Amino acid sequence: MTSDLKASWWQLKLLFPVDLEESFVWKFATLGHNAFSVEYPLEDTSRGLLYLWLPSNEWGAVEREALFTDLIQLANTFGTYLDQPVWEEVFDEDWNNNWKKHWQPDPVGNSLLILPVWLDLPKEHSHRLILRLDPGCAFGTGSHPSTRLCLEALDRKPPVALKVADLGCGSGLLGLAALRLGACHVWAVDIDSLAVRSTTHNAQINSLGSGEIEVELGSIEALKFKLNGNHVDLLLCNILAPVIESLVSQFQDLLGVNGRALLSGILITQVPSLTLVLEEFGWCVISLEDQGKWALLEVGRP
């Protein structure tokens, strides 16, 4: 005798300020929730659209309310607010497609295309450099403005034959893009073991091995150890501005005299204070790009 009962999931749909994405990723990782996605509507770059899926047999009304209360507390630390959540029950056979349908081929700049692993290459994008990505890894899909700014900067000025370091690699997307655009080698580090696993996985599905990209757990000290006194030509650093400020004093250990850095994850309001710290340690801002509330600084020696 077979059961007619179908496994189901609660789907959360929630609009949120983009400043909260990193906090949401951290929160869901600590809770073991990997089934979520984030979209950024083109008409409003200040807000993202979160989808989260939870098994309905484990998440009743009380548990869902407690989770949303935790998200409100995260928002409060940024002095912002959340819209009311929209919960919808979806059944097991539809859940996978519901999750995947939110990810589409994503052209970036003139050259790049971010392509989810389960999709075929659209003919209209066949001329682009393909970055296969498994968004299930839940780190950086290229849609966040800070990541977008980095990808577009790499596309405008391809790092041909350059040695590149990716500090806080997340999904590995920036390092993989650098390689697709001509970099000769990438060293990538992150303090999150899930990010290291994600970068390694995405490198594999792009047929890139240790000869092109090396991935390690750690921060700037791990990079210095791997470089063993040598320097890179380009540093990619898409992390939060206070963390960047704390690391600026060690940039000279990574970058040669003619080296430059692309720094993002920075709110426009944080640019003046970060610029002062950079200048204190002998760096200058070559250019500044912005998208919504976010900024990217290209940095080098005077």
- Domain definitions of the chain by residue range: 8-21+46-100, 139-300
Per-residue pLDDT for 3 more than 50?
no
Instruction: Report whether 146 contacts 238 (CB < 8 A).
Output: yes
Per-residue pLDDT for 182 more than 90?
yes
Residue for token digits 């989810």?
116
Per-residue pLDDT for 143 more than 80?
no
32 versus 11: the higher-pLDDT residue is: 11
Given this model, what pLDDT does residue 135 score? 66
Token duo for residue 263? 């720094």
Helix (H) or strand (E) run with residue 181 in it: none
Task: Tell me what the mean pLDDT of segment 188-197 comes to.
Answer: 87
Which option is the CATH number for 139-300: 3.30.930.10, 1.10.10.1100, 3.40.50.150, 3.40.50.720? 3.40.50.150
Given this model, what pLDDT does residue 35 score? 73
| 63-67, 102-106, 217-221: segment of lowest average pLDDT | 102-106
Per-residue pLDDT for 198 more than 80?
yes
Given this model, what pLDDT does residue 95 score? 55
**Range with top average pLDDT, 1-10, 14-23, 103-112, 140-149:** 103-112
pLDDT bin (cut points 50, 70, 90) of residue 4 is very low
H-assigned helices in the chain: 21-31, 61-77, 92-100, 145-156, 173-180, 193-205, 220-227, 241-247, 271-280
Distance separating alpha carbons of residues 78 and 72, to the nearest angstrom: 10
| 136-150, 247-261, 286-300: segment of lowest average pLDDT | 136-150
Which residues, listed in sequence order, are joined to residue 167 by a DSSP beta bridge?
189, 237
| 135-139, 267-271, 285-289: segment of lowest average pLDDT | 135-139
Work out the angle between the directed axes of helices 145-156 and 173-180 (0-180°, nearest 10): 20
Distance separating alpha carbons of residues 99 and 138, to the nearest angstrom: 12
Which contacts (CB < 8 Å, 24+ apart) does range 62-66 have? 64/10, 64/12
Given this model, what pLDDT does residue 33 score? 72
Q: Which of 277, 289, 213 is nearest to 245 (CA)?
A: 277
pLDDT bin (cut points 50, 70, 90) of residue 2 is very low
Q: Which of 302, 150, 301, 163 is nearest to 237 (CA)?
A: 150
